[in-house]
């Protein structure tokens, strides 16, 4: 029993250590490039605009359906008012979900582009990253359809049992297969189906790094729930009955949790960008190439050999070019003397 507890304690400490190391490495990136946080913030504003537009549409439809002329048309067509309301609400809700998916993926592609540029040490701008995402608009809209359908199908409530277990398995498979979709769309510009296939292939090649990073970053979401729940627990223990005070505490905690969620989301996108660069280029970004993170990256021997061979080929090519230039110089000097 003591041995099992010791193993659990070591695993727990190791996982927390990896989480802290990844957060620290990403914090360095965000410290050098704080503008990265603008992308999720713009995404939140865009999603809020979509929700507000959906609510306005629902209000307009409700006003139209309660109009006497509309009620007469419904009665003439033998349609039930409640059924029409439910169908219109469902249609608007589905369209709003798709629009939110488009906004989220669009800003995710822009953030991924900016993150990879920042990790590579190249100059980038918010406007340039948004233009880059706009150039990928066709791929983004296509993948948004796939993500929207997956969310609708996998988000449906099922009874517990075999169907519930199958739904959870499918949800896990979908998340794993699409873990690197944003970098693939951003860097390679592939369509929805090809991007998912490419992401799935890269995840299979780097499953160890992906699993370690994903599980490590799961710890980073715990403080967000704590920020929301803890103030309410304190209010309950203190038997606070003032409604305005409770609302103020709730608004403050939700705002703080939202800010923390934006930070953690940015951290995840930056890590996925680094993982994509490692999977496709075999290069660990400098900010993640730390001693405490060496246990995360697993460089394959054949990849090292290929990179060494490529470097040797490049060196030989450079030497050949230098030799050719030297020969040309000698020929030129001989011609001048003649």
Cα–Cα distance between 53 and 60 in angstroms, integer? 10
pLDDT value, residue 170: 84
pLDDT value, residue 139: 94
pTM (2 decimals)? Answer: 0.71
Q: What is the SS3 string spanning the chain?
A: CHHHHHHHHHHHHHHHHHHHHHHHHHHHHHHHCHHHHHHHHHHHHHHHHHHHHHHHHHHHHHHHHCCHHHHHHHHHCCCCHHHHHHHHHHHHHHHHHHHHHHHHHHHHHHHHHHHHHHHCCCCCCHHHHHHHHHHCHHHHHHHHHHHHHHHHHHCCCCCCCHHHHHHHHHHHHHHHHCCCHHHHHHHHCCCHHHHHHHHHHHHHHCHHHHHHHHHHHHHHHHHHHHHHHHHHHHHHHCCCCCHHHHHHHHHHHHHHHHHHHHHHHHHHHHHHHHHHHHHHHCCCCHHHCCHHHCCCCCCCHHHHHHHHHHHHHHHHHHHHHHHHHHHHHHHHHHHHHC
Cα–Cα distance between 290 and 296 in angstroms, integer? 10
Q: How far is CA 105 from CA 198, 260, 262, in A?
A: 17, 20, 15
* Tens-digit pLDDT string for the chain (338 aa): 444 444 334 444 555 666 677 777 777 888 889 899 999 999 999 999 998 998 888 887 777 666 555 444 444 444 455 555 566 677 888 888 899 999 999 999 999 999 999 988 899 999 999 999 999 999 999 999 999 888 888 776 554 456 667 788 888 888 888 888 999 999 999 899 999 999 888 888 776 666 666 666 666 667 777 777 777 787 777 777 777 777 777 777 777 777 778 888 888 888 888 888 888 887 778 777 766 566 565 544 444 444 444 445 555 555 666 656 655 555 555 555 54
Q: Please list, in sequence order, all residues whose beta carbon lies within 8 angstroms of the beta carbon of residue 51, skipping any fewer than 6 positions away.
A: 96, 100
**Helix axis angle, 81-119 relative to 243-281, nearest 10°?**
50
Cα–Cα distance between 270 and 273 in angstroms, integer? 5
pLDDT value, residue 143: 94
């Amino acid at each position: 029993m003591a041995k099992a507890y010791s193993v659990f304690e070591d695993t727990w400490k190791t996982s927390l250590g990896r989480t802290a190391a990844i957060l620290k490495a990403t914090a360095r990136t965000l410290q050098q490039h704080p503008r990265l946080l603008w992308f999720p913030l713009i995404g939140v504003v865009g999603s809020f605009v979509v929700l507000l537009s959906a609510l306005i549409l629902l209000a307009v439809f409700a006003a139209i359906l309660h109009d006497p002329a509309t009620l007469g048309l419904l009665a003439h067509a033998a349609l039930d008012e409640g059924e029409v309301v439910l169908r219109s609400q469902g249609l608007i809700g589905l369209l709003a979900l798709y629009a939110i998916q488009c906004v989220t993926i669009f800003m995710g592609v822009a953030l991924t582009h900016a993150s990879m540029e920042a990790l590579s040490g190249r100059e980038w701008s918010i406007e340039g990253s948004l233009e880059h995402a706009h150039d990928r608009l066709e791929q983004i809209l296509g993948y948004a359809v796939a993500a929207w359908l997956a969310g609708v199908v996998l988000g449906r409530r099922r009874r517990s049992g075999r169907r519930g277990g199958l739904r959870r398995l499918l949800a896990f498979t979908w998340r794993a297969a699409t873990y690197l979709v944003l970098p693939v769309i951003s860097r390679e510009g592939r369509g929805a189906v090809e991007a998912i296939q490419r992401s799935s292939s890269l995840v299979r090649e780097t499953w160890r790094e992906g699993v370690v990073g994903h599980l490590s970053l799961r710890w980073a979401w715990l403080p967000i729930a704590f920020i929301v729940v803890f103030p309410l627990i304190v209010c309950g223990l203190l038997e606070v009955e003032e409604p305005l005070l409770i609302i103020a505490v709730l608004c403050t905690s939700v705002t703080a949790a939202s800010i923390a969620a934006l930070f953690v989301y940015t951290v995840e996108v930056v890590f996925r960008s680094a993982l994509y660069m490692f999977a496709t280029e075999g290069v660990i970004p400098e900010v993640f190439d730390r001693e405490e993170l060496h246990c995360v990256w697993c460089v394959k021997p054949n990849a090292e050999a290929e990179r060494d061979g490529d470097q040797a080929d490049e060196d030989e090519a450079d030497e050949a070019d230098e030799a050719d230039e030297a020969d040309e110089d000698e020929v030129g000097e001989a011609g001048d003397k003649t």
